[in-house]
Structure 1
Amino acid sequence: MNRQVLVWCLILVSILIPPTNNSQPADTGYQGLIKETDIRLSQVRQLIIENKPLPEFLILRYQGKELNHVVFYDLDGKQALYKYRTDRFDDLSEKKVKQLRPGQAYRVRGRFVGLLEEQLVQLPGQDRYQELVSSNQGRLAFEFESAELIQTDFIFY
């Protein structure tokens, strides 16, 4: 008897309370924390070729540390390196990246410095830099400023 009352109460509540739709519209689907419309590293490279201003931040996923750099990647899997410390003894700078978690999406801010090829940063204006830009080689190198975690706006059930 008690169980039947509980079932009827649940049915009554589900009828009286209208469902809410706080999620994305049905036609868009879930895109994840990095969206198709977010600028990609290949587009940043194109902006560099065209001498256009770069965006103030990029939305990327954190991969890990590589020597004095932290590595981030975009939706296409292209990598960018952000230099966060001067050498391995720079313990103060280590605190800036201690909270980063692999696979998490971040809004990353940094100043573009050049293209990294074989542990050497080629600066704009150098001959090798122009070759790397035009041949789509080398990884984009930035000076790390900050990384802000991007969190979801809704809860998954």
Structure 2
Amino acid sequence: MKRRYPNIEKNKLSEFNTAEIRGWVIDRLVQIEYRVNNIIFEFFQPEEKQVFNEVLLNSSVIDFGGKAKILYNIGVSKTTLGKLRKIVSIRNAFAHASLGEDITLNVSIDEEGNENVKLDSWSIVTVMNAEGSINRKAISEYLEQFLDLNSELRDEFDEFLEALRKRKK
């Protein structure tokens, strides 16, 4: 039986739970990959369009690292490629890393001897960097960085694609 799943009816990322944030991040990177694929496709302009898109550009055949090497060799800037590597790294953290909660309890005593307790809690992601160090970072920090990179990359890839199309005419 086929079934259609409804879209999320939330207006702000702050309304998402961690599973929804994870899915949203993955979806946004798929949109970036779509732009990357369009650039590669436009540059090579293959005769076998469907095979090129469905087979060669399939992410199980050429991963983001391979596509980044192609982009470099067709003129995408190192700065843009650095952003692409960073956003892929953040996506991988959301897709594969453990998500949890960090809690800080602060207890202080005021001048009158009253105990003041402050409890802070936030969602965290735990990732291992390339050197093997384990780092814990607030999800909100990663998400903010992801949003900035996503916006920048979308614009940069759209501009590159437009310039590529103008050169081909």
TM-score normalized by the length of structure 1 = 0.22
TM-score normalized by the length of structure 2 = 0.21
RCO greater where, 1 or 2, for CA within 8 Å and sep 6 or more? 2
Between Structure 1 and Structure 2, the one with more helix by share is 2
Between Structure 1 and Structure 2, the one with more strand by share is 1
Computing the radius of gyration from Cα coordinates, the structure with the larger value is 1
